[in-house]
């Protein structure tokens, strides 16, 4: 749960639409479950957050923590093009600019896709159609939402390619994705997603598939474009360095839930969840003198079919036995406010966590 | 694209020479090594020694191998003359051989029969492409549904049931039982509707077999393509699902289908032996069967040659279409 008062959330039956929020994007208690032969995979299990225009939210977590599923859920891509019997089960609310997306007409949501919300994917080589030129794909993206002829759309495509820093855009517009380098492809992907001036941009691991040297350029580009277009951006990554670069707010996900959320500087410098400590400890840093060994988070991500009872992180948490009465293994911790706009879900008392962070964790980082 | 085209054409030309050499070896070299009297097999077993010697001289079987190869090539591209003393037979280009047994050149007989087989193959191809691909796409989109299972069961039976069974069954039902269709070949020049009537059952029978294979490969490919990232991208753009499937997914699904089509059409044009025999169509397949029965070697050679040619051309066309569909092919 979020700061959205629990009493209010409890009163509202799921079927009764809650009032539209004032935030530009508000996700309330989002659940995305996938039925499989082995059981129900709870990829996202009760996620809430808000995002304002012009701001960037970084969603951080390991593989399988539910980051990408969340972003695809916002885009409505779990339900679009679902063939076969097993459909994803999605509940909760996603409010974008006053429209609740989960209950809205799917065709209306389709029209919002690409125009009001757009997405950049991890691997631009596989995310771009290999048989169509870059230009054709951008032109298509533009013409879905704008009733213009091909010539005008092509001009727009060249303009966008130029804007994202592709040299000789009037020539490269006719190139195929395989004729671009990785960085250029991601630039083209960004050009395509921004061609309709979307107000919400979701970047799902935008730099993971790229060379380290190119990563910084792409992050700079996303930041510059956000300033220029004033859109809201969600950056999904497992790389804390990326969010440090971009994000205003950070949301740390574990096992399909949010374990810590707050302004970037708070999450980086006063983290209040042992999992966030683990993430910070496993991040290589160049700004520290004594570079010791990186400390990995022990164990492996939880099974999303059998999420550990109590705190999902308890099997891997070195402090699981600090709270009394085995509570970490029996009761699921709720998000509680630990400071201004800063929430964490942990059974340890705030004083305890503050002490552990300042005395045990921070000095080692 | 032009460079790719030239490369492909050149490769096809080289392949043509290789194919002709291989066929020459099969019919002239290997029997020779095996100690078979080629002249004898060309005239037939009952021939008198004089005519065997005549054929030996006409075919130049006593000449060195390279001369024979040269004459074989020359015959195909420029025509050749078979002569033995005063007995002279001219076979004009393209000379695919001369049957001394039936005393006729092979090529004109083949070209007479070629339109029948071509019509059969092309008509059936249209049918199986339309129905096979459509069924495959639908099955992929409704994976696990009753339709999907039903279509795949039908497809499985289509693949497993031999043509002489489905063909005879369809003849029994529609031609002899219901008397809807007169099962008899009418050349397209005589009567178009008559031709259609005669071809409809062979088309359906042949197409049933192939549609089944195409439905299965289309379904498998489509399912794979639907999992591709760029399909998700297409949806993320806000494209209608019909466009996502019909344009983005379909274009990628076409490539393996085209590859299959090239090989299948090529092979079929060389004679759909079973279908032609079942429906008494006077096509290449029937001719090759006759030739085998009568041990008329030149005709067998001619059909092998024309089949290889058809496969070669079909593959060339497919390669070119491939490059049109997939820009990455043009590079390599």
- Return the CATH number at A110: 3.40.50.300
In the stretch 66-95 of chain B, residues with CB closer than 8 A to chain A read: none
Question: CB distance from A79 to chain B under 8 Å?
Answer: no
Distance in Å from the first CA to the final CA of chain B: 11
The answer to whether position A59 is within a domain reads no
Which of A35, A84, A116 has the highest number of chain B CBs within 10 A, making it the mutation to test binding with B? A84
Sign for the pseudo-dihedral over CA of A157, A161, A163, A169: negative
For the stretch B43-78, pLDDT in tens is 766 667 777 888 888 888 788 888 888 888 888 888
**A120 and A246 both lie in a single domain:** yes
Distance CA B284, CA B117 (A): 6
Expressed as residue numbers, the domain containing A288 is: 267-364
Q: How crowded is the C-beta side of B193, counted as CA atoms within 13 Å?
A: 1
A249 and A213 share a domain? yes
Q: Assess contact for B285 and B306: CB atoms under 8 A.
A: no
Q: What angle do CA B8, B14, B19 make, to 5 degrees?
A: 120
Measured between CB atoms, does A83 come within 8 Å of chain B? yes
Instruction: Kindly report the nearest CA distance between residue B132 and chain A, in angstroms.
Output: 20
**From the CA of A127, how many Å to the nearest CA of chain B?**
4
The C-alpha of A345 sits at a distance from chain B's nearest C-alpha, in angstroms, of 33
Residue A16's pLDDT is 47
What does the pLDDT read at residue B67?
86
Residue A236 and residue A358 in one domain: no
CA gap B217, B197 in Å, rounded:
30
A57 domain residue, yes or no: no
pLDDT at B134 over 90: yes
For an interface test with B, give the residue of A83, A124, A204 to mutate (most B CBs within 10 A).
A83
**Same-domain pairing of A246 and A272:** no
Closest-approach residue (CA) in chain B for A176? B327
Please tell me the predicted confidence (pLDDT) of residue A83.
65
Q: Are residues A308 and A246 in the same domain?
A: no
Tell me: do A181 and A297 sit in the same domain. Answer: no
Q: What is the 3-state secondary structure (H, E, C) of A179-203?
A: HCCHHHHHHHHHHHHHCCCCCEEEE
Calpha distance A246→B291 (Å, rounded) = 78
Optimal mutation site among A88, A101, A129, interface B, most CBs of chain B within 10 A: A129
Nearest-by-CA chain B residue for A83: B141
Per CATH, domain B109-330 is 3.90.190.20: no
Average pLDDT of the segment spanning B200-215: 89
**A261 belongs to a structural domain:** no
Measured distance CA(A231)–CA(A234) in Å, rounded: 10
Q: What angle do CA B49, B56, B101 make, to 5 degrees?
A: 70
pLDDT tens per residue, range A21-32: 788 999 999 999
Which residues in chain B touch residue A141, judged by CB atoms under 8 angstroms apart? 237-238
Q: Do B238 and A145 touch (CB under 8 A)?
A: yes
With 80 as the cut, is the pLDDT of residue B84 above it?
A: no
| β-strand partners of A34 | A41
- Averaged pLDDT, B210-224: 91
pTM as predicted: 0.81
Report yes or no: A246 and A222 within 8 Å, Cβ to Cβ: yes
Query: Is residue A46 classed as helix, strand or coil in its secondary structure?
Result: strand
A163 reaches B (C-beta below 8 A): no
Q: Is the pLDDT of residue A124 over 90?
A: no
Listed residue (B313, B326, B323) closest to B3, CA to CA: B323
Chain B nearest-CA residue for A86? B144
Residues of chain A contacting residue B222, judged by C-beta atoms under 8 Å apart: none
Mean pLDDT of the B225-247 span: 92
A175 inside domain: yes
Say whether both A226 and A309 belong to one domain.
no
C-alpha distance from B231 to closest chain A C-alpha (Å): 8
Two structure tokens written together for B307: 């089949």
B251: enclosing H helix or E strand:
helix B250-269
What percentage of residues in chain A have a pLDDT greater than 70?
91
What's the rounded mean pLDDT across residues A194-218? 87
Residue A129 to residue B241, Cβ atoms within 8 A: no
Tell me if chain A has a CB within 8 Å of the CB of B327.
Answer: yes
Rounded to 5 degrees, φ, ψ at A92 are 105, -160
**Given an 8 Å threshold on Cβ–Cβ distance, is B144 in contact with A81?**
no
Q: What's the mean pLDDT in B206-214?
A: 89
**Residues A50-61, mean pLDDT to the nearest whole number:** 92
Q: What is the pLDDT of residues A150-176, one digit of tens each?
A: 999 999 999 999 988 899 999 999 999
A334, two tokens: 């709720």
Residues from chain B that touch A84, judged by Cβ atoms under 8 A, are 142-145
Task: Say yes or no for a CB contact (<8 Å) between A110 and B234.
Answer: no
Of A225-234, A263-272, B76-85, B110-119, the one with minimum mean pLDDT is B76-85
Task: Please report which confidence band the pLDDT of residue A290 belongs to, taking 50, 70 and 90 as the band edges.
Answer: low
Q: Are A188 and A161 in contact (CB under 8 A)?
A: yes
Residue of B nearest to A174 (CA): B327
A75 touches chain B (CB under 8 A): yes
The three-class DSSP label of residue A284 is coil
**What 3-state DSSP class applies to A29?**
strand
From the list A80, A83, A128, the residue facing B233 with the nearest CB is A128
Q: Are residues A220 and A293 in the same domain?
A: no
pLDDT score for A4: 43
Same domain, A178 and A128: yes
User: What's the CA gap between A246 and A94, in Å, rounded?
Assistant: 23
Q: Residue A18: how many CB atoms within 10 A of its CB?
A: 17
Best to test chain A binding among B4, B143, B238 (most A CBs inside 10 Å): B238
**8 Å CB contact of B327 and A178:** yes
Domain residue extents for chain B: 14-95, 109-330
Residue with tokens 């796409």: B137
Q: Say if residue A251 is in the same domain as residue A273.
A: no
Q: What percent of chain B has pLDDT over 90?
A: 20
- For B137, name the nearest residue in chain A, comparing CA atoms only: A83
From residue B40, how far is each of B50, B52, B70, B101, B298 by CA, in Å? 11, 6, 22, 11, 12
Are the C-beta atoms of residues A75 and A269 closer than 8 Å to each other? no
Residues A229 and A341 in one domain: no
At A79 the pLDDT is 74
**Does A246 share its domain with A147?**
yes
Shortest Cα–Cα distance, B130 to chain A (Å): 22
pLDDT at A287 over 70: no
User: Given an 8 Å threshold on Cβ–Cβ distance, is B142 in contact with A110?
Assistant: no
Number of domains in chain A: 2
Q: Which residue of chain B has the CA closest to A178?
A: B328
Whether A42 is in a domain gets the answer yes
Domain end position, chosen among A202, A226, A256: A256
Which residues lie below 8 Å from residue B137, measured CB to CB, with a gap of 6+?
B218, B219, B222, B245, B250, B253
Whether A262 is in a domain gets the answer no
Tens-place pLDDT, residues B253-278: 988 998 888 888 888 887 688 888 88
DSSP A335: P
B144, B244, B327: residue with CB nearest A131 = B327
Q: What pLDDT, on a 0 to 100 scale, did the predictor assign at position A13? A: 42
Judge contact between A332 and A310, C-beta under 8 A.
yes
Which chain B residues touch A118 with a CB distance below 8 Å? 236-237
Is residue B326 over pLDDT 80? yes
Q: What tokens appear for A102 in the block? A: 């989960």
Query: How far is the C-alpha of B72 from the C-alpha of B63, rounded, in Å?
Result: 12
Q: pLDDT (tens digit, 9 = 90+) per residue, B152-177? A: 888 888 888 888 888 888 888 887 78
Q: Is B32 an interface residue toward A (CB < 8 Å)?
A: no
For B157, the enclosing helix (H) or strand (E) is helix B146-160
A43 — phi, psi (to 5°)?
Answer: -70, -45
Cis peptide before B94 (omega within 30 of 0): yes
A81–B240 CB contact, under 8 Å: no
Whether residue A84 lies inside any domain: the answer is: yes
What's residue A261's pLDDT?
94
- Nearest-neighbour CA in chain B from A362: distance (Å): 40
Is A156 within 8 Å of A142 (Cβ atoms)? Answer: yes
Q: Which of A80, A129, A178 is the closest to B235 by Cβ?
A: A80
Q: Please compute the mean of the pLDDT values over residues A226-238 and round it to a whole number.
A: 89
| DSSP secondary structure string for all residues of B264-309 | HHHHHHT--HHHHHHTT--SHHHHHHHHHHTT-HHHHHHHHHHHHH
**B222 interfacial to chain A (CB closer than 8 Å):** no
Q: Which of A81, A114, A130 sits opposite B328 (nearest CB)?
A: A130
**Residue A218 in contact with partner chain B when CB distance is under 8 A:** no
Evaluate the omega torsion of the peptide bond into residue A37 and state whether it is cis, within 30 degrees of 0: no
Contact A206, A22 (CB under 8 A): no
């Amino acid at each position: 749960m979020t700061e959205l008062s629990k009493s209010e959330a409890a009163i509202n039956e799921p079927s009764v639409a809650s009032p539209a929020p004032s935030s530009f994007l508000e996700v309330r208690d989002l659940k995305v479950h996938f039925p499989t032969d082995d059981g129900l995979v709870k990829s996202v299990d009760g996620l809430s957050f808000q995002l304002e225009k012009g701001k960037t939210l970084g969603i951080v977590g390991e593989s399988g923590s539910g980051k990408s599923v969340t972003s695809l859920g916002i885009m409505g891509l779990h339900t679009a093009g679902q063939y076969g019997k097993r459909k994803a089960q999605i509940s909760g609310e996603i409010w974008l600019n006053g429209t609740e997306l989960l209950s809205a007409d799917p065709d209306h949501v389709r029209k919002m896709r690409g125009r009001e919300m757009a997405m950049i994917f991890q691997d631009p080589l596989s995310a771009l159609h290999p048989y169509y030129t870059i230009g054709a794909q951008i032109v298509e993206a533009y013409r879905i939402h704008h009733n213009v002829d091909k010539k005008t759309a092509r001009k727009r495509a060249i303009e966008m390619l130029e804007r994202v820093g592709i040299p000789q855009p009037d020539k490269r517009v006719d190139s195929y994705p395989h004729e671009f380098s990785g960085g250029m492809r991601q630039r083209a992907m960004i050009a395509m997603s921004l061609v309709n001036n979307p107000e919400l941009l979701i970047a799902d691991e935008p730099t993971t598939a790229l060379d380290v040297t190119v990563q910084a350029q792409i992050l700079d580009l996303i930041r510059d474009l956000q300033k220029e277009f004033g859109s809201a951006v969600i950056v999904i990554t497992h790389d804390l360095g990326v969010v440090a670069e971009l994000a205003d707010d950070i949301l740390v996900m574990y096992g399909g839930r949010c374990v810590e959320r707050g302004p970037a500087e708070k999450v980086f410098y006063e983290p209040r969840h042992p999992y966030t400590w683990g993430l910070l400890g496993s991040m290589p840093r160049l700004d520290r003198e004594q570079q010791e060994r990186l400390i990995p988070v022990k164990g492996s991500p939880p099974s999303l079919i059998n999420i550990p009872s109590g705190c999902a992180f308890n099997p891997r948490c070195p402090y699981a036995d600090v709270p009394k009465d085995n509570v970490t293994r029996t009761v699921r911790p709720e998000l509680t406010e630990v400071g201004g706009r800063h929430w964490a879900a942990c059974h340890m008392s705030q004083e305890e966590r503050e002490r552990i962070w300042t005395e045990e964790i921070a000095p080692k980082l | 694209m032009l460079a790719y085209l030239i490369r492909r054409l050149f490769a096809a030309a080289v392949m043509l020479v290789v194919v002709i050499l291989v066929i020459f070896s099969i019919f002239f070299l290997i029997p020779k090594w095996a100690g078979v009297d080629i002249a004898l097999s060309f005239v037939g077993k009952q021939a008198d020694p004089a005519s065997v010697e005549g054929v030996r001289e006409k075919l130049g079987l006593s000449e060195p191998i390279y001369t024979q190869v040269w004459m074989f090539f020359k015959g195909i591209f420029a025509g050749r003359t078979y002569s033995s003393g005063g007995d002279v037979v001219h076979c004009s280009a393209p000379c695919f051989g001369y049957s001394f047994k039936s005393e006729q050149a092979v090529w004109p007989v083949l070209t007479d029969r070629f339109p029948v087989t071509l019509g059969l193959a092309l008509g059936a191809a249209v049918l199986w492409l339309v129905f096979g691909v459509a069924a495959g796409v639908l099955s992929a989109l409704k994976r696990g549904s009753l339709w999907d299972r039903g279509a795949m069961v039908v497809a499985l039976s289509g693949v497993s049931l031999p043509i002489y069974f489905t063909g005879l069954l369809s003849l029994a039902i529609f031609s002899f039982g219901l008397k809807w269709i007169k099962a008899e070949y009418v050349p397209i020049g005589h009567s178009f509707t008559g031709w259609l009537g005669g071809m409809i059952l062979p088309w359906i029978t042949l197409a049933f077999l192939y549609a089944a294979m195409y439905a299965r490969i289309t379904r498998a490919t489509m399912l794979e393509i639907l999992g591709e990232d760029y399909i998700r991208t297409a949806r993320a753009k806000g494209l209608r699902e019909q466009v996502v499937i019909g344009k983005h997914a379909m274009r990628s699904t076409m490539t393996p289908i085209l590859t299959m089509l090239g090989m299948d059409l090529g092979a079929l044009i060389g004679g759909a032996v079973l279908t032609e025999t079942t429906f008494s169509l006077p096509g290449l397949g029937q001719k090759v069967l006759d030739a085998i029965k009568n041990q008329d070697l030149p005709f067998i050679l001619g059909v092998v040659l024309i089949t290889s040619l058809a496969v070669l051309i079909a593959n060339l066309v497919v390669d070119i279409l491939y490059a049109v569909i997939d820009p990455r092919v043009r590079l390599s």
